[in-house]
Amino acid sequence: MDVPARLRYSMNHEWIDDTADPATVGITAFAAAALGDVIYAELPEPGTQLAAGEVCGEVESTKSVAELYMPVSGEIVATNEAVVAAPDLIGADPYGAGWLFRVRLTETPPLMTADEYRAHLTEADSGGVS
């Protein structure tokens, strides 16, 4: 499973690239694969202030609907309109063209490194994490 080392990860399978301001957020390749063919993405509106852990949108696939959770606190400054127009970008390129939104950070809770996220996936696969 592709887990880029430069990113940080939430327990809810969102990734964040906070090496630039604003930070970029998306869902992981694991989450995209679990969803299957994504047919709709509802993303937060620019200007929205959200706290870490809040529901900030949803992604719908032919299999299910998954809520998106804000991995950090901050203000949404941009959404990926290409994903809204072509939601399949999320599965095709989750760490590139399939990014979801950009956020100006106000608070960053502890997030997982790539190695910690891989361990989380292994633990979840063995039934240890829900």
Residue holding tokens 């529901």?
A: 55
What is the predicted pLDDT for the residue at 108?
93
Strand, helix or coil for residue 107: strand
Q: What is d(CA 52, CA 20) in angstroms, rounded to the nearest whole number? A: 19
Walk along the chain (130 residues) and give the pLDDT tens digit of each residue. 789 999 999 999 999 999 999 999 999 999 999 999 999 999 999 999 999 999 999 999 998 999 999 999 999 999 999 999 999 999 999 999 999 999 999 999 999 999 999 999 998 765 544 3
Extract the tokens encoding 61. Answer: 């696939």
Q: What is the CA radius of gyration of the chain?
A: 14
